[in-house]
Amino acid sequence: MLTEVVATRYVTPLREGGSLPGIVEADDLGTYVMKFTGAGQGRKTLVAEVVCGQLGRRLGLRVPELVAIQLDPVIGLSEPDQEVQELLKASGGLNLGMDYLPGSIGFDPLAYQVDSQEAGRVVWFDALVNNVDRSWRNPNMLVWHGDPWLIDHGATMIWHHNWSTAQTSAAKPYDASDHVLAPFAPDVASAAATLAPLVTEELLTEVVADVPDEWLVDEPGFDSADALRRAYVEALLPRAATIGERIGLGPRVERKPTPAAGWLTEHLAAWPHPTKNQRKDGGE
């Protein structure tokens, strides 16, 4: 199960996200990016974040740690922004937190290189969960301590919005031609050979068990949270076995932007990239 913490202070909203996530501090002295049950996208976004985030972590991909955050709506009483105040009031109870990566910056495919092995692993994983939201327009990746990290998996597993078509939808191929890592010659075959055998029924059962019951109740067609968890397993398990053969890496429809002359050499040389040996808080 996810570690459960209690939000002690709302710090600031992150307006880059459509669901208006916010940075909060918790009683474990941690700082998290919090996603709210009261947001317009609904609780299925949080379910997708947990299933995909925990699965990615179990497969060795860099995904920030996830926690469940208890929120007392009283925190919103002193918030001056009416939109944020209403969101906090509507999100009392259990919400989702993602470990905040201090000093991280957005991944830019023009500025960073990713080797074909890692690119293949990310593309294969996104194909497995049918992630439609990791294009060069919106990479949903951060660079922290020099490494790319995967974030924002709410727009995955589209089939869980219509379970009657889940098996058909989960059997469809994956078009990766617009994926942010497509230009890095992703070695999908190698990734499939390594990762597909790891996606077992046991692993998926453990992953979906991390989703809190209260985010799974009252789903039409299911009489219990465990029955719904089983549906996620049954959609992902057969897809893992064959999706590596059904990933399309054809030419992009649109060209990505090109950097101005000298931008890479002038700006990257001056950028103070942190090293892996630095502590999470940015110290030496």
Strand partners, 25: 9, 31
Q: Where are the domains of the chain?
A: 3-101, 106-144+157-248
pLDDT value for 58: 98
Per-residue model confidence (pLDDT) at position 275: 41
User: Which spans in the chain are helix H?
Assistant: 43-58, 82-89, 116-128, 166-170, 188-195, 201-208, 225-242, 263-270
Q: With a cut of 50, which residues of the chain have pLDDT below it? A: 253-284
Q: What is the pLDDT of residue 274?
A: 46
Task: Note the pLDDT tens digit of each residue in 186-232.
Answer: 999 999 999 999 999 999 999 999 999 999 999 999 999 999 999 99
C-beta separation of 152 from 224 below 8 A: no
Query: In this structure, are residues 187 and 99 in contact, taking their beta carbons and an 8 Å threshold?
Result: no
Angle at 78 between CA 94 and CA 35, to 5 degrees: 30
Q: By the 8 A CB rule, do 107 and 133 touch?
A: no
Residue (of 92, 51, 43) closest to 219 by Cα position: 43
For the chain, list the strands marked E by DSSP.
3-13, 22-26, 31-35, 66-71, 93-99, 105-106, 141-144, 147-150, 174-175, 247-248
Q: By C-alpha distance, which of 110, 129, 127, 238 is closest to 186?
A: 127
pTM for the full predicted model: 0.86
Contacts with 138 (C-beta within 8 Å, 6 or more apart), sequence order: none
CA distance 130 to 123: 10
Judged on CB neighbours under 10 Å (0-12, 13-18, 19+), 131 is: buried
pLDDT at 262: 42
